[in-house]
Amino acid sequence: MPELATKATQLFAELETLRSKQKIDAFTSKRLEHEAKKLLSVDAFSGYQILGALSSFSGKIAEMRENYNKALQLALTPAQKSIVLHNHSIVLKDAGYLTEAVELSSQSYDLEAAELKLSNFVETCYRAGLFHRAIQYMSRVVLPKEIDFSQTIPLIVSFMDKHGVQDEELQKMIEIAVSVLHEHRFFDFRSIYIGLVSDGDFTWFQYVISVDCSVEEMVAMDCELATRLAEAELPKNLLSNFLVTYKFAEDDDETY
């Protein structure tokens, strides 16, 4: 029925608009949840995916996973399965579950080699610290302007090679920083700065996660991060040249 397809398309478009906003409007989120639940009776495949995204916005991670798993069970074709995995990987990426997001994004592209899905895979690898993996696929896709890493990724890969840092080592460092935030119930990782910084004499890699929190929470999380990084016994060449840290969200001026 055309009207059902139109309704699902409308709700997915509104979700994408919500993702682009700094703050998620609670009223709009509730309205979309109500409409998605109504959609379940006629288009459960789309309805569960929309509910999964809305659950991620409110930090209900178990509920998010449950909704996407239900949608996956309703997928009748490889193309439909690919859609669910793609959409799930996006919300996992936004919620900070980067390693899992990379895996689902890869599975989605394997099932249906669409440019949109390859673009998401490259971006997810980028955010996860898997820069060597990202550069292998980057030449195969035209990235949207807002996530065009064609200049940044080669520079970071060269910097990593110069200091003998592997993707898995940087990925572990990032995962430690993310785990601290997850334990403090922070699940919004849409705003991240990634790049090389130089003061003239020294250049280093920065991965900065914007966090909406109080000063007291920031101090506590900074201390926990420093402790976790020390306990992880990461390579000195990584700790000396690569910095993963947090900043207050209101200080945002740039992402990626």
- pLDDT one-digit tens code per residue, 56-84: 988 899 999 999 999 999 999 999 999 99
In a domain? residue 201: yes
* Contact assessment for residue 95 and residue 56, using Cβ atoms and an 8 Å cutoff: yes
Q: What angle do CA 111, 112, 113 make, to 5 degrees?
A: 120
Q: Alpha-carbon distance 103 to 6, whole Å?
A: 30
| Residue pointed to by tokens 């798993």 | 69
pTM listed for this prediction: 0.91
In a domain? residue 141: no
Name the domain boundary from 74, 105, 129.
Answer: 74
In a domain? residue 185: yes
pLDDT tier at 2, thresholds 50, 70, 90:
very low
In a domain? residue 149: no
Question: Which DSSP state fits 145?
Answer: G
Q: How many other C-beta atoms lie within 10 A of the C-beta of residue 141?
A: 17
Helices 131-138 and 152-162, packing angle to 10 deg: 140
More confident residue, 146 or 95: 95
236: domain range? 155-251
pLDDT over threshold 90, residue 149: no
Name the domain boundary from 20, 45, 74.
Answer: 74
In a domain? residue 21: yes
pLDDT over threshold 60, residue 37: yes
* SS3 assignment, position 239: helix
Beta-bridge partners for 247: 210
* Contact assessment for residue 134 and residue 149, using Cβ atoms and an 8 Å cutoff: yes
In a domain? residue 34: yes
Averaged pLDDT score across all residues of the chain: 91
In a domain? residue 100: no
The CATH number of the domain holding residue 161 is: 3.30.70.1350
Question: Which DSSP state fits 256?
Answer: -
Name the domain boundary from 74, 96, 111.
Answer: 74
Number of domains forming the structure of the chain? 2
* SS3 assignment, position 244: strand
* Contact assessment for residue 242 and residue 203, using Cβ atoms and an 8 Å cutoff: no
Phi and psi of 127, rounded to 5°? -70, -30
pLDDT tens string 211-221: 999 999 999 99
pLDDT tier at 256, thresholds 50, 70, 90:
low
* Contact assessment for residue 60 and residue 187, using Cβ atoms and an 8 Å cutoff: no
In a domain? residue 133: no
* Contact assessment for residue 171 and residue 190, using Cβ atoms and an 8 Å cutoff: no
Strand 192-198 and strand 203-211: pairing? antiparallel
- Whole-number pLDDT of residue 1: 44
